[in-house]
Structure 1
Amino acid sequence: MNMDNTGDNVENAGNYFVNEAVGLPREIVTGVHWLGACQGYSELHGYNSTYLAVGENASAIIECGAGASYPHVIAQLEAVEAIGIPPVKYIFTTHQEVPHSGSLGLLLERFPEAVACGPVAEFHLVFPEFEDRLVEMEIGESVDLGGTTIDVLEAPFRDYLYTRWYFDSTKKVIFTGDGFAYSHYHGAGHCGHVAEEVPELALPEMTARFAENAFWWTTHVDIEPYVARLEWLLETTGAKTLAPTHGLPVLDIPKTLPELIKGLRLMSKVTADGRARVPVLGI
């Protein structure tokens, strides 16, 4: 489903997020809907995405988005609800940073039957009224949506120690949070498209620039063990789709992943034998 005009009239919250022409909500694979908004800059955009995974008995929201994006996300979500889906019973965040969890309280209020799942430590301090609806989940645990599960995965690339990724076991989608984050160009019509639909975008350079902030630690380590762990995770899960919070979704992993890994390698200034890499992109 692709409802290009859904939410166009929603008030722009602080002009930081926009909803014009983003082409969302979009069903990237059957039963997984891409929601969210772009940053409101004139040209270089970054997504603040939320995903809706639909099972036979329940639906799950993965990533809450910042508070400023909530009006757009809820309008898009209600458009998907209108076609008929099971109730939202689970809300997952990859970690506590505002772009990933800022709307958690609003979503718990909007969906009173739902519980917040994942690394929920400290949320009781921010949302004390929802303390009884916070469910800590560890790597290897899962919730059953009916016909599929949402599994908690380790996050090979993360900015917080307790960051988690999630996996829709039937649709084979990994929700990667800050993993595979990169910007895109609004003027070139990239908004609302998946990575394979914008082949002209320089993924390695864009990924490296975004990772400079989220994964600053990669400039101090040999990155290859982390790449190997990532490749192991993708192989063992049999993942077919990557759903990042800040980048365009990846529907063809064999084609696109090598370009994203190039970007992660641009970040590392240390080789396996401890030698410094040649600086790239001024990083």
Structure 2
Amino acid sequence: MTCPDPRAPDFGCTGTLPRAITPDCLWTGRCLPSSVPDMHAHYALYLLKGSEATVLIDTGHPIHWAEVKRDVDAFLDGRPLDYIFPTHSELPHSGLLERWMREFPDAVAIGDMRDYPLYLPHLAHRFRQVAPGDRLDLGDRDLLFLPPVWRDLPDTLWAFDTKDRILFLSDACAYFHAHVPGQCDHLSSEIAPPDLAIMQDFNDKALHWPKFTDSRPSFPEIDELLARLRPRFLTGAHGCVVDTPEKTLPLFKQGIAMGPMPGKVPA
């Protein structure tokens, strides 16, 4: 499949990132070669603009600094970056935190920051600890922090944009983690359904725990969350943006409900 309109204006669909998924939310980052031959894997971050403040969700992979900095500057269009929200302390999500804070000296890092003073003690005065249920006021919208149903690390948080109803899922729901070149900025409605084996391979590598335990008891919690929030978009760091949440949630469940993988022995 190709983009709906390859002549799209700036931040439209071109086949490569960046792309604005709403007028106020930029999907950027870049891709790296996947473990699947001839396919790509996303390393994404998101810039959300409120009427009064802006926030970067995740920091991007350090290898992509020049590209994502250029994208963010262009989308900010002269506005400052006010907040940086690393969803958890893993390289693709927080590896550029210090660089962003250096570029924007008034920016505040926000999230579960419990361990970050150990890594960046000179920036500890610019860290703001939040917990599920807390809200970040951006003016015409709030960023609501949520408990992660499917988490990577103990300091993982999810978040929800209350205006455009975007649910930021960090490493969960790795929809189309592997894709072919030219599909890097495609939404779920613009691309073929995911390969279950690829989703299971990603969850095996990134989340680790689904191969050792039964994840099905978590399904009522994710069902309740989506029913309550009614998100328009599901966004993660390692897959395409999902604009078909109800259609794709059953696929997410299949991808995470894998149980012990063949040949895997719990440690």
Shorter chain as normaliser: what TM range? Answer: 0.7 to 0.9
1:47 CA drift (Å)? 0.8
Does residue 185 in structure 1 map to residue 184 in structure 2? no
Query: What aligned pairs does 1:176-215 form with structure 2 within 5 A after superposition?
Result: 176-181=169-174, 182-187=176-181, 189-199=182-192, 201-215=193-207
State TM-score, norm by structure 1: 0.83
Q: Aligned to 1:120, what secondary structure does the other structure show?
A: coil
Contact 1:63 1:100 in 2 (8 A): yes
Question: Equivalent residue for 2:161?
Answer: 168
Distance (Å, rounded) in 1 between the aligned partners of 2:218 and 2:9: 35
Contact 2:29 2:44 in 1 (8 A): yes
Distance (Å, rounded) in 2 between the aligned partners of 1:203 and 1:147: 38
Does residue 28 in structure 1 map to residue 14 in structure 2? no
Structure 1 unaligned spans of 5+: 6-20, 270-278
Identical aligned residues as a percent:
29
Does residue 112 in structure 1 map to residue 100 in structure 2? no
1:119-151 deviations in whole A, cap 9, x for unaligned? 112211222221100111111001100110111
Match of 1:68 among 63, 66, 78: 63
Query: Which amino acid counterpart does residue 183 of structure 1 have in structure 2?
Result: H
RMSD: 2.1
Distance 1:2 1:210, change over 3 A: farther
Contact 1:196 1:256 in 2 (8 A): no
Query: Which amino acid counterpart does residue 109 of structure 1 have in structure 2?
Result: R
1:22 CA drift (Å)? 5.2
Distance 1:2 1:249, change over 3 A: farther
1:177-212 deviations in whole A, cap 9, x for unaligned? 10112422334x32111122111x434222111000
Higher mean C-alpha displacement, 204-213 vs 140-149: 204-213
Total equivalences in the alignment: 253
Q: Aligned to 2:84, what secondary structure does the other structure show?
A: strand
Q: Aligned to 2:160, what secondary structure does the other structure show?
A: strand
Q: Aligned to 2:183, what secondary structure does the other structure show?
A: coil
- Of structures 1 and 2, the one with the larger relative CO (CA 8 A, separation 6+) is 2
Distance (Å, rounded) in 1 between the aligned partners of 2:142 and 2:81: 14
Task: Provide runs of 4+ in structure 1 moved above 4 Å.
Answer: none
Q: Aligned to 2:169, what secondary structure does the other structure show?
A: strand
1:249-276 deviations in whole A, cap 9, x for unaligned? 00111122222222112x224xxxxxxx
Distance 1:128 1:240, change over 3 A: same
Distance 1:108 1:2, change over 3 A: farther
State TM-score, norm by structure 2: 0.88
Q: Aligned to 2:82, what secondary structure does the other structure show?
A: strand
Distance 1:210 1:2, change over 3 A: farther
Structure 2 unaligned spans of 5+: 1-7
Distance (Å, rounded) in 1 between the aligned partners of 2:16 and 2:132: 33
1:99 CA drift (Å)? 0.9
Contact 1:194 1:248 in 2 (8 A): yes
Query: Which amino acid counterpart does residue 184 of structure 1 have in structure 2?
Result: A
Q: Aligned to 1:162, what secondary structure does the other structure show?
A: coil
Query: Which amino acid counterpart does residue 51 of structure 1 have in structure 2?
Result: Y
Match of 2:239 among 227, 239, 247: 247
Match of 2:227 among 223, 229, 235: 235
Distance (Å, rounded) in 2 between the aligned partners of 1:260 and 1:45: 19
Query: Which amino acid counterpart does residue 252 of structure 1 have in structure 2?
Result: T
